Amino acid sequence: MGDSANVETVAETVPAPAPAATPAAEENADGKDKIPILDKVYEKFDDMNLNEELLRGIYAYGFEKPSAIQQRAIVPLIERKDTIAQAQSGMGKTATFVIGVLQNIDVSQKKVQALILAPTRELAQQIQKVVVDIGSFLNLTCYSCIGGTSVQDDIRRLTGDTPHVLVGTPGRVFDMIATRRVLDTTYIKVFILDEADEMLSRGFKDQIYDVFKYMNTTCQVGLFSATMPSEVLDMTDKFMNDPIKVLVKKDELTLDGIRQFFVCVQREDWKLDTLCDLYETVSITQSIIYVNTRNKVDQLYTAMTERDFMVSSLHGEMTQKERDGVMREFRSGTTRVLITTDLLARGIDVQSLSVVINFDLPTNRENYIHRIGRGGRFGRKGVAINFVTTEELNGLKALEEYYETTIEEMPSNVADLI
């Protein structure tokens, strides 16, 4: 298994002229060992020696130039190297591993050849959509295998028209492998873990390890994570062989392009009036409002609905059908305000989203960038507005220090910035 002292590191801070290798050195996570750095950058998708049909799909999807993470991580994945990639939402991370996976799929073989695990149903479905869209000219199939849906449908699909790529949540995928015995892992040549830190924080560690036990010893592993806590590093040691490491330095886990503001009120129960005033005075295309609990979702939804605002809500106690319906309405623009918890804070891309409102500051500071990253994906500008009481100003200051950013008081002309 992989030894952290033998990890090649593809750094994120290097300018991108042409593919080149430059030896250097970097401290690893514990600061003790020097790790050799190999900087390889591919400025164009055309330089990556991709399948023509895959390239067509990439351009049809709307990509013109690879993002920083794509410039560095796609080719190692294509070359079947175990890959650790640290990157935030909104940097094109999903497309990175999708392209890397699809390049090596043999569409003539109707077997599951790639398994992608994600921490939430919504993220798994988002990934499936990206696979289908980018792979639209490849004649391949992709299926999502997630909790909250019909087990019988999964069994029928996995024993009938077998998909080339399977995206799923850890519990349901393990059920299909070990309990139902309908997911054949024999032909799986690449295993991707998306949002590994989030999966561990949700208690999926044992299920992930159980799934991995069923993979071939030759199976390639790709691990994508916004942060690299010790639990994630432990996982890389157990799962991976001489991995390539694509690192985004902390100062490049960027909030660039997202204007951050705060609104301070003296009391918590004044936040609602302030929020409603904002929606009455500023024209907002689409927005997400984050709160910290399911109860708060329901309370805010009821309060805003009673004031005649058209809003929708999403939380983990809803059935899968209800959740799908809410996201369909929001994506289509039928509803323009979505109230949710951190369930939605990773990986969901809504094109017209312009404003993110933290009605509650996140309890976990790492989730801050995931929440507001919804509003400024791929260079699209976004605005984030944080509602705080006077007692919460210290928490806001802590976020500024952690992200080395500035969160300004919301100006009176905020409408001009949205």
Taking phi first (over 0 means left), then psi (-120 to 50 degrees means alpha), and beta for anything else, what does residue 183 get? beta
Do β-strands 190-193 and 220-225 pair in parallel, antiparallel, or remain unpaired? parallel
Measured between alpha carbons, how far is residue 349 from residues 29, 92, 93, 116, 356 in Å? 31, 11, 12, 18, 13
pLDDT of amino acid 40: 84
Q: Is the pLDDT of residue 148 over 70?
A: yes
Higher pLDDT, 12 or 130: 130
Three state DSSP letters for 240-282:
CCCCEEEECCHHHCCCCCEEEEEEEECCHHHHHHHHHHHHHHC
Query: What is the CATH code for 258-417?
Result: 3.40.50.300
Q: Name the percent of the chain lying above pLDDT 90.
A: 55
Contact 106, 113 (CB under 8 A): yes
pLDDT tens across 83-118, in order? 999 876 667 889 999 999 999 999 999 999 999 999
Look up residue 330 and give its two tokens.
């929001």
Compute CA distances 388 → 273, 338, 339, whole Å: 13, 20, 17
Write down the pTM of the prediction: 0.62
Q: Could you give the CA distance from residue 150 to residue 106 in angstroms, rounded to a whole number?
A: 28
pLDDT in tens, 268-305: 999 999 999 999 988 888 899 999 988 999 999 999 99
Q: pLDDT by residue (tens digit) across 321-376?
A: 888 899 888 888 888 899 998 876 665 666 677 899 999 999 877 788 878 864 55
Comparing 415 with 164, the larger pLDDT belongs to 164
Banded pLDDT at 185 (limits 50, 70, 90): very high
Question: 175-180, long-range: CB within 8 Å, 24+ apart, which pairs?
Answer: 175/151, 176/145, 177/211, 177/214, 178/210, 178/214, 180/151, 180/154, 180/155
Question: What residue ranges of the chain are covered by domains with CATH 3.40.50.300?
Answer: 4-249, 258-417
204-242 per-position pLDDT tens digit: 999 999 999 999 999 999 999 888 888 898 888 888 999
Residue 86 confidence (pLDDT)? 87
Contact 359, 300 (CB under 8 A): yes
Q: Are 7 and 243 in contact, with CB atoms under 8 Å apart?
A: yes
Residue 397 has a CB neighbour count (10 Å cut-off) of 11
Domain 4-249 has CATH 3.40.50.300: yes
